[in-house]
Structure 1
């Protein structure tokens, strides 16, 4: 199926709005031994949490947050190792399990802000784009895999996705890693989308074209 593809904008951010909830903040304040967390006004929860986090050693704080968000994905030994590694490297970009990059990013950035830079600063890319089917007989829901395949011709040859995933982008094999590369894919009309990923995967410099046509072969 052929699509007209447009990349309208790419915004680079250091946090994703609304990922952490007030319930998260209250729970974590208690884990960081802050008294009377339930009595704090909602608009003040994050600032109090950052103060509470900074009272702990960075490695210990990292372990608490990792256990909260990734205890079902990682062993105790892996969490201990990552809590060390996060102080030196952008684990949220380098960890071999791509499906965990989003959670690791959110943990990393909360630590980065709590410690005013002790942890490396990672960035995310929010891409406004559209996929308009040309002469389609019926509507096909755009998936994360489809989005990356259709966007590939807008990327420069140095883009990391193009260099590492040539076969999946050409639809020679399934693109299972697309689910981890694309953190969020949001749309109200299945045409205009907000695609969120790591700047590690797609940066401003990676965009070489803003309007083009591309094809996704829909399985019969």
Structure 2
């Protein structure tokens, strides 16, 4: 099937604020010993959390938030190690288990903001685009979207170098769901793609529109 993609906007951001919900803030405030968090003004929850976080040493605060977001997947020892590593390195960009990288990014950047830069900063890339095809009812998964994007990316791009076979449709591509952190589709085939700023940098999107032919069975 032939697809046409138009890149409308590419942004580099240092946080995805909407990732954190009111319920997240309230639960974290409880874990940082802030009383009556449920009764607080919803608009002030983030600032209250920052104040509560900074009453703790950075490494201890990191452990609390990591346990909240990743406690079911990581052991106590792993959380201890990551909380120490986060103070000196962008763990979210290098962690070998890709399925954890997005949550590590959100934790890292919350701490970066709360401590005004004591934690190294990372970034995310937001790509707004339209993707159309002859089949208006076709729904695109992450693997197909990355295969379409491939032709518009610089050869320097790390995804192109690490996943060449998968991007060419010659191998299964389960990693795609972890490369694309969040995917929103709205009317008129408008897509909002959020990914790691380490995996796809803004300046690596080197074309504004192109067409891509993809075999319908290429994901299999």
Question: Shared topology, TM-score over 0.5?
Answer: yes
Query: C-alpha separation between the residues in 2 aligned to 1:54 and 1:24?
Result: 17
Kindly indicate whether residue 101 of structure 2 is the aligned counterpart of residue 101 of structure 1. yes
- Give the match for residue 181 of structure 1: 179
Query: C-alpha separation between the residues in 1 aligned to 2:171 and 2:50?
Result: 44
TM-score, with structure 2 as normaliser: 0.95
Show CA shifts across 1:40-86 (max 9, x none): 11111110100110110111110100000001221111111111111
Structure 2, unmatched stretches of 5+, are none
Kindly indicate whether residue 203 of structure 2 is the aligned counterpart of residue 205 of structure 1. yes
Show CA shifts across 1:108-128 (max 9, x none): 011001100000111111101
Number of residues of Structure 1 aligned to a counterpart in Structure 2: 218
- Give the match for residue 9 of structure 1: 9
| 1:132-147 paired onto structure 2 within 5 Å | 132-134=132-134, 136=135, 139-147=137-145
Show CA shifts across 1:174-219 (max 9, x none): 1111100101111123721000001111112101111111122222
Query: C-alpha separation between the residues in 1 aligned to 2:137 and 2:147?
Result: 17
TM-score, with structure 1 as normaliser: 0.95
Query: C-alpha separation between the residues in 2 aligned to 1:107 and 1:81?
Result: 15
| 1:146-185 paired onto structure 2 within 5 Å | 146-185=144-183
Kindly indicate whether residue 41 of structure 2 is the aligned counterpart of residue 41 of structure 1. yes
Query: C-alpha separation between the residues in 2 aligned to 1:38 and 1:72?
Result: 24
Structure 1, unmatched stretches of 5+, are none
- Give the match for residue 24 of structure 1: 24
| 1:107-146 paired onto structure 2 within 5 Å | 107-134=107-134, 136=135, 139-146=137-144
Per the alignment, in what secondary structure is the counterpart of residue 56 of structure 1? coil
Query: C-alpha separation between the residues in 2 aligned to 1:116 and 1:36?
Result: 26
Query: C-alpha separation between the residues in 2 aligned to 1:120 and 1:43?
Result: 27
Cα contact 1:141–1:190 (8 A) shared by 2: no
Which runs of 4 or more aligned residues in structure 1 lie more than 2 Å from their structure 2 counterparts after TM superposition?
A: none
